[in-house]
Amino acid sequence: MYKVFVNDAPIILTSSSQKENNFPVFPFKHISFDEILTKLKSKKNKGLNLYSTDLEKDWKCFCSNFEVIPAAGGLVLNKKKEVLFIYRNNVWDLPKGWIEKGETKEIGAIREVEEECGISNLKLIKPIVTTHHIYFHKGIKLKETHWFLMSSNDKKELTPQVEEGITDVGFKNEAEIDRILKNSYPNIKLVYDTYIEG
């Protein structure tokens, strides 16, 4: 299964015939890409399912409609198992950014977390999940973000990267996370939920 967000609405590309949500189902081979976006932009649909008989082939076909932008980020834990969040554009987020030319996903993820949060001593633990979302900037882009679980024992004061629009950064406990996820993106909830599920 692949899940791609357009704003808050997911496009779910699946080979499963079992319906797991209330979104309408369309056969992938019978729908055009423009039709998909029109259905989601109309806001009548809160999401939609695309049924595929060849998931990997259809995923490649789906991605061919975009310029794919590779990105990476981290869900960082401190010794208290609190999670590092950033506040950007009035929304809580996890640190992430584009992978630079010649970087691996892992190196890009560590660099972005360090830059956006002013943190060091990052230890990469394992991959969590890869998320996708469509955005519109000089054409239609598909951002593919590779998320990694990390830890840090850095005790110095964190500094938000203000030139990137980040106004706050800090570790949050479970109660705070429940509250701030109400003002976050669906992809961030997906990353956090995947981490919690182990």
Identify the H or E element spanning 129.
strand 122-136
* Mean pLDDT score, 81-101: 97
Q: Report the C-alpha gap between 108 and 87 in whole angstroms.
A: 20
Give the per-residue pLDDT at 38: 82
Taking 90 as the threshold, does the pLDDT of residue 39 lie above it? no
Q: How far apart are the first and last CA of the chain?
A: 18
Two tokens at 128? 């969590």
Please tell me what DSSP assigns to residue 61.
H
Domains identified in the chain and CATH numbers: 2-63 (no CATH), 68-197 (3.90.79.10)
pLDDT digits (tens, 9 = 90+) for 122-154: 999 999 999 999 988 888 899 999 999 999 999
Taking 90 as the threshold, does the pLDDT of residue 96 lie above it? yes
What is the pTM assigned to this prediction? 0.92
